[in-house]
Amino acid sequence: MRDPFRRRTLAVLSLAASLSLLAACAPAPHTAPSTQPSTPSTQKALDEQLRDAAWADDIGQAAELIRSGADVNAKDSTQQSAYLIATSEGYLDLLHLTIKSGAAIDDKDNWNGTGLIRAAERGHGLVTGALIQEGIDLDHVNRIGYQAIHEAVWFGQDDPEYATTVRTLIAAGAELDRVSESERLTALQMADQRGFVGLHSILETASKAEPMADPDAELLAAAQSGDADAAAIALRAGADLETRDPDLQQTPLMRAVLADRVSVAQLLIAMGADPDAFDYRQDTPWVMTGVTGSVPMLEALLPGGPDLSIPNRRGGTPAHPAAERGHAEYIARVTQLDIDVNRVNLNGWTALLEAVVFGDGGPAHQEIVRTLLENGADADIRDANGISALEHARDRGYTEIVALLGG
């Protein structure tokens, strides 16, 4: 359970924020930013509207208000700013917007806590990593005597989100042996008191880690095996996030993708790993998610901002190999993104053609054909030999797919 006094105080702050939201000025209309200088009263209104947009995670409205002069660091009476709201609520896109717009990274809330402490308390591993990448004070102690790693454990949960958060702090080099000023406990001792077996194991492994002769090699091995704790320790020891094996030129993230090691990938993405790093075949971690068909891995890489226009080595999108291999759930998810479902690869195939030509005509490939058509796939595009998907389906006796294609 969270500390009762802290919970009550946070509830009051939440109520104050809600009342502020109800009393806020109406959102600014979508017009060009004014060229007139802001007066104190209009500046206050802009800043208040920006905080309201931040609570709602309305990126479009927030961006417009910032263009109109709203200050991402302006605070209300409870010391909440748009930037600090993004950190506590886990709004990663909003956080990126506020940082780009001049957020004071080490700004403090009314607990004298940084955004890192706020993010760690809520288990926002990606926000934690983004703040670390911006150089935030890793070991700042707030007014009640906690560092970020203390808050992640004492006020957290023993679940995958908090595991990623704790690993990210460990990987970045957070202090592990400092005790909190109130309980006089280290993060490891806190995990023990809370009965958090998972977090206790992560922290204990890190606290007992021996010096590494080759952190880069250890990171690559951890990514391959799926040992996220070992990956965090290797990064803590100085491993290069983008190190590559000498033969295949695969980064740790690529190895994690190919082996479907999601927890490792989550840590690497939080620390800033590149989802578009090419290997020796000119494939990237992002495009290879289509080969494995792992939707959890796709979700793990998306916050890293992959370039959806980069083709795989055959000139296709991730949907091409996924369609060929019958990854129906993956196709259902990837077609929700901004990919070109009608891209023709170097062999003359669209994803739809691959689903028919290289599929088995069974339920999975039927579902893929249906999903692609529903998301704009053009069944009239012919392959390099001038043969349509419908003609291929007829030749193969795929009756159900023929019907889906209107034959």
Low-confidence stretches of the chain (pLDDT < 50) are 1-35
Structure confidence by residue, pLDDT tens digits, 381-395? 999 999 999 999 999
- Write out the two tokens for 329: 């759930």
pLDDT score of 9? 41
How many CB atoms are located within 10 Å of the residue 312 CB?
A: 21
**For the whole model, what pTM was predicted?**
0.88
Side chain identity at 372, as an amino acid letter?
Answer: L
pLDDT score of 37? 58
pLDDT score of 36? 52
Q: What structural domains and CATH numbers belong to the chain?
A: 16-25+44-104 (1.25.40.20), 313-407 (1.25.40.20)
pLDDT score of 41? 82
